[in-house]
Structure 1
Amino acid sequence: MVVGYEKDETLTPNQKLIAGVVSGITTRFITQPLDIVKVRTQLQAKDNGSTWIGLSWRILREEGFTTFWHGHSLGQLHSILSVASQFHAYEISTKFVENYASQYTSPQFKKVLLFMCGIFAGCASATLVSPIEVIRVRQMVVKAQYGGVLQGAREVYRRGGILAFYEGLTASLMQMGPQVGITFAVFRFVQPLVVEYLDYMEDAGQTEAEKKAAKTKQLLISSSIAGSTAGFVSKTATYPFDLAKRRLQIASHKPDPKVKTPEMSKNLVKCSSLMSCLLDMVRKDGYTGMYTGWAITICKAQVTSVIIFTTYEMVCYAMRD
């Protein structure tokens, strides 16, 4: 039982879409504080000497506990659209590969096509949620200036016009496409291996009730391990584009003198283009500069991947059952 289309699947696409929505809501609620720290870390100069743990304490001390939930409403909308669209696009594209393309291709090339399905899902999701993500990131930085959804949208438009809602889209596509492709590919590879191993370790003399309970446990464990592995590999491989995306998403941001700007949000690192952003990282901090904020990002990616895949699989399992 893996994500993506399977010929003997009993769930409809709409039921899987519901599973994706539930997965997205659950994930965002749990990981929002980590996302705040991650974004703040990525927008600080590397030489400021702050670790992500120190930055967390500073946010708590200077801005209060509720700061960790700035942009949460938009974050929920972003998470629902992002996760649901990823799974839905992946479902549709893998269905095409399984039903049509696989008839004319070798098993090896089919794996390439399935990887491309993941890239398609990531690009579709990144394009869909770009305007929401730009507003959300700026709310995380200066909540008072970007306020609610409408206030944030007006402020983004006032600072950079309609194109401001798509700042960082190129970096987002170059990050999310391969990231989602790698994530789904690693998950599809690792999860069956873990299930097979757990099956091998199970007692052959179990009753039907015990087998059913064991199957649920296997699904939970295998999804957690595969999700964690997928999150680590995919995020590490595409991280420089994630860092560039965040710095591009605040390119047109200018502090409003009428609004109080938090101290750590006054000297943010911004970029005007993807290439100049990547070159500046290397020129100022060496190649390690392309991984500023990597530790907290990997921590969040691990938690996010585990919750996303585990929740998605468990909801699908519950509906099938």
Structure 2
Amino acid sequence: MVGYDKDESLTPDQKLIASLFSGVITRAMTNPLDVVKVRAQLEKKAISNPNRKWFQITRKIIEETGVKSLWRGHQVGQIHSILGVTTQFYVYEVTTRLVDMNFETGKYSSLVHFLCGVFSGCMAATVVHPLEVIKVRQMINKEATRNLIEGAKKVYSTGGILSFYEGLSAAIVQIGPQVGISFAVFRLVQSFMLTLLTRDCDNREVCQTQQDHAVNVATASAIAGSMAGITSKSLTYPFELAKKRLQIKTFPSQGDSMFKCHSLIECLVKTFELEGFKGLFRGFKITIYKAQLSGLVAFTTYELICYATRQIIGPPTSPPSTKKKH
């Protein structure tokens, strides 16, 4: 299970490998959705035509620059995903372990996991933000280079070192709670699903053995990951939109075709004034598809790699200390 468990045989360092592979696989599968999402969030044509469907945007991208353009920014996206996912999972594993070993959480367990998730999300947002700025600009620039170094030079040329941190405040406000919600929801739903899948057994040890079976772990993780992705993204989406628009405020787009703003509050207020409440959820549908797929792939891959690693190294020789401070 994601997060600290006193019976866990893997250390956070060993789980780091699982999060790395999870990040790679997740990015490879979701990059096309990310490209379409960014175009839907930023292009004024999409804003002026609320009935423009995400598949119409996809068709236009393919017609203009070919199918390969759906993986525009993938190189930077992979590095971003590896750093982001590994930071999230690793910091979450470490913080939940520290809290559980030093405090009696009891009935506040869900709150603790949420707060640990918020902290890991803020850390991840700060670490990967410069890469996200490069990635977003590569996705919207038809002539953008796929090279990370060249992409970084272009970002730097528009506003110096600070241009790499455009939208960081919105990123922290959005990603921190989003990751917190995601981990908290995942643990709750996964635990519920594992109990539901083994409801017919009447022996605790037998139930635990069944819950640890690969098929049950995969099924519960897939459902819980999907729910975590949908819930966390839905509750924080306006900040996601503002973050993307802040990340291109110094981007020299031709004909003023992109929606730009200069502060988090300005983005939210300007969007509401020009587009109404629905405008705060521009590109929401494609984003939810991506969030659901990302949650499903990331959590399921992570859990299955951890499961396979446990089978290789075997059970722990002695359980870690769980002495509490009162």
Compute the TM-score of the two structures, normalised by the length of structure 2: 0.89
The DSSP-based 3-state class of the residue aligned with 2:143 is helix
User: Which of 268, 274, 281 is the equivalent residue of 1:291?
Assistant: 281
2:233 counterpart residue number: 235
1:308 aligns with 2:309: no
Percent identity between matched residues is 46
Cα offset, 1:112, TM superposition: 2.2
The reply to whether residue 154 of structure 1 matches residue 146 of structure 2 is no
Residue deviations 1:259-310 (CA, integer Å, cap 9, x gap): xx7xxx9601111111000001110111111000000000000000000000
Structure 1 residues not aligned, in runs of 5+: 256-260
Q: CA deviation at 1:147?
A: 4.0
SS at match of 2:213: helix
Q: 1:245 matched to which residue of 2?
A: 243
Q: Does 1:222 align with 2:220?
A: yes
1:202 Cα deviation (Å)?
A: 6.6
Q: Tell me if structure 2 keeps the 8 A contact 1:138–1:146.
A: no
Q: 2 CA distance for matches of 1:172 and 1:65?
A: 29
C-alpha contact (below 8 Å) 1:5/1:95 kept by paired residues: yes
Q: Deviations over 1:126-160 (max 9, x none)?
A: 00000000001100011523541111111111101
Query: Contact 2:230 / 2:291 at 8 angstroms: preserved in 1?
Result: yes
Name 1:126's counterpart in structure 2: 125
CA contact (8 A) 1:40 1:141 kept: yes
Matching residue of 2:95: 93
Letter matched to residue 34 of structure 1: L
* SS of equivalent to 1:145: coil
Secondary structure class of the residue paired with 2:152:
helix
- 1:221-256 Cα offsets, whole Å, 9 max, x none, are 10011111111110000000000000000111114x
Distance 1:57 1:266, change over 3 A: farther
The C-alpha deviation readout for 1:97-146, integer Å capped at 9, x for no partner, is 100022xxx52334322211000000000000000000011000115235
Q: TM-score, with normalisation over the residues of structure 1?
A: 0.90
Quote the RMSD (CA, aligned, Å): 1.9
Partner of 2:173: 174
| Long gaps (5+) in structure 2 | 312-326
Helix, strand or coil at the partner of 2:250: coil
Matches within 5 A, 1:65-84: 65-84=67-86
Equivalent-residue separation in structure 1 for 2:185 and 2:286 (angstroms): 21
CA drift of 1:185 comes to 0.4
Q: Secondary structure at the match of 1:311?
A: helix
The question of whether the paired residues in 2 share the 8 Å contact of 1:240 and 1:291 is answered with: yes
Distance 1:101 1:157 in 2: 45
Distance 1:201 1:35, change over 3 A: farther
